[in-house]
Each structure stands twice: as C-alpha cells, then as structure tokens.
Structure 1
C-alpha cells in the first residue's frame, strides 16, 4: 500500500508546495507571513535556500500559466485564470506529482514520492549520465586494448607450441639452462595472465583455475607428447617458482 509522508496533503497552495519542494517546511510560518500575494515575495528573507524556494514557486506558476499543471480553488479543479492571484488557488497532489515526474524527473521530494518510490526508481541526472557514458567509452577502449594484447600473447603461445613440436626430443638436442628458464618464464607469465584480470577487473580469459587450463589442454592436445595432467601440473609449478624467483 502507498503511504504518504506526514507532510503530504490532498491539495496545496503553490506556496505550500514550493515550501515542501525546497525542504523548508520548518520555516513555513515565516515564509507564509512574508508572502503578500501568491506570487509576490521579498527579494531576501532570513531563511536558508530562499532563492531555491522562489525558483520552485516560479516553476509551479509557470506550469499553471502554460496549462501544464491543472489548478483550481480549494482543491476543486477549475483552471480559471482569474485565480492566478487568488490566495486560495490550489493544485492537487496527484496533478503536482504527475507534472513533476514528467517535467522534473530528477526531483523526487518526499512530500510527493514515498521512500519506496525514491529507492525503487533512482534518477540519473544528465551530468551523471554523461559521466557514465564517458567512463563506458574509456572502459570499452581499454577492453579492446587488452583483447589485442591477449591475442598477441595467444599468437606467441601458438607459435611456441608449433616450434616445440618441430624441435626433436633427442639427446643430441639438449635444452640449456638459459633456454629452460626462458620457456618456464614464458609459461609462467602466460599462466598468470590467463588466470588474471585487467586493471579494470575484466578477466583476460575464460579460465578461472589452473585445473581448467589443464583440462582444456588435455581435451584439445592430449595426443601430443607431454600433454598429460601430471606433466602439465609439474611444469606449471616449476614455471611459477622460476617466475617468482626471477621477479625478486
């Protein structure tokens, strides 16, 4: 069930609505006392956000003059221009709420909108929307750059795999310590990258764990020499240790 806050009424005089809109209900007495006519106020008043109150009042009357906001006498809609300067001119709660939702969507004053409405329908201002769009474009560019880098690394990985298949595994072609360190560093770097994320938190690959990488390698290249669970986990562990030692 919709529950109106205590400051809500069935209808309001424009001054009453402007006071609530500006959040000045506790200053209602001095504002009403200073009001000569519905549209005539002193230029200055010892009251916070006085200019904001004047602006809210002007906006309400502007909507009345331009037939955007129905008005009447003591809550009865009549849209009679002779009421414009009457102290009894009123606008209904439901009409005021509809008008504000249509023309000032960034405004959700508590006397018109319940707490549930304000939470369930958060408003994004134009400035916030533009900032979000700029941030989205920057993230999109960064993501594209990361994709290019990942593709380059994958191409290098494929080239290394192809090169390793062409190297005869024989005693006449031993791998030097320097070459082994290089390969282990490359494997360790690629492993960390495939399981890592970009600075913006976007994963570099779809793999979440080392076990997933091992399973994928076995599923796709299980017939190749060395592509076994035991060998892969052993090489990955060695590459991680070697990479950690190289970074110190």
Structure 2
C-alpha cells in the first residue's frame, strides 16, 4: 500500500520553481490551458524575435511585448534555459522568466489582472486595493458587529424567556379564575355559607397576589389591585361577575369577610 508521502506529486512546489519562455508565459497569461499552449503557439506567427501574433488570441502579442519590455528595463529578472537569473544580455528567443518573478511583476504592474496559472482562488478574489491596515480595520468592524449581534440575540432570548413566564403566569391566573367561576356558576344563588367560602377564597387569592402574607412576594405582573381588576376585566370580558365594577365591589367585600373570621 502506498503511503501519503509516496503519492504527493508536489505540484505546488514544482510550479513555484517553474520557468517559462516568454511566448509560453504570455500564452498562459492569456488563459490558454497548459496542455494546449504548444498547439496554440504553433498557430501563431512571429512578428518580431520571440513576439508572436495569434489569429484568434489578440492578447498574445501585447503580452509578449510587455514581458520583453519589462526584461529590457530591468524590472523583470530574466534567465536562459538553465533558470539562473542573469544581468547579461539574453537573446529574445532564449529568454525565460521564473513563475515567482512573473507573479510579482504582474501583481505590481497589473494588479487587477490575476491569471489562474499564477494566483490561487483566494488571491484572485482579494481586491488589490485592500491593504493589511484596511483589512485589519474591516475585520475589527466586522468583529464589533458580530459582538453586537450576539448581544442582541441574547436580549431577544431573555425577552422571549420573560414573555414565556408571563404567559404561563397569565394562564395560571386564568385557570384559577375559571375554576372559581365554574364553582360560582354551579348554583345561581349560593347559600350564606357558600358565599362566605367564595369571598374567603377571593380574599386569600388577593393576599397571595398582593404579597400581603409572610414569605409571599407580590405577583410581578400586577403593580396594584386596580391593575389586577383591569386585567381580569380585559381577559374575561363577557364572563358573569367578572366586570371591573363587580370586582371593585367584591374585592373589598371579600377582605371584610376574611377579616371577620
């Protein structure tokens, strides 16, 4: 069984040390696939030494000329077939450029042009005007927005949790009132003993809701007894005996009843 290090072709490393004759470099720069370069160059015509013109690829000639011009002006290092950069004059037909030097030169002189044979996908999608300082500023702004989003999500979670608790308390209160209403409706005219029992129940519930008993805290949903009456009137609109006016009479009556013992 082959090991991973036996199967690694080191294509990236090989490409790093690649050297290209000027027409080949120009052809690759034009986007011609590496496997088709020789065929396409065979269709081209020399208009000058190592400057080729292609009938269907108009960028080939100007890019050949641009590379030669950069070599002539000492901007782009040049070598012969051995790949060793030299300051000596090299005949145009023998001029070779390294992949590394070609990439650096194109990045400096043509920052918007990032051919795939030199630049990876990330490099091709990174705008040349974004400097390290600009990137750090953008990242800091992005991180700050991410933090604000996390805080907003936490506040939403807390609000939803509080809403759920309030709804649970409301439903519990509604169930208590429904139970009391059902008991009251069991007889149209309750007897004196039953009436006192109901009033005592109401008074006991009021004391629990108002936090009037030792160790019992005021119900957080109702700031006052008037608020409780208002909510019952709203939530149980149409129920017999649960109007605001009737509750305003019954609550004091219930308190007097339980105080009388």
TM bucket normalised to smaller: 0.3 to 0.5
Higher relative contact order (CA 8 A, sep 6+): 1
Q: Which has the larger radius of gyration?
A: 2
TM normalised by structure 2 equals: 0.41
Under a length normalisation based on structure 1, what TM-score does the superposition of the two structures give? 0.43
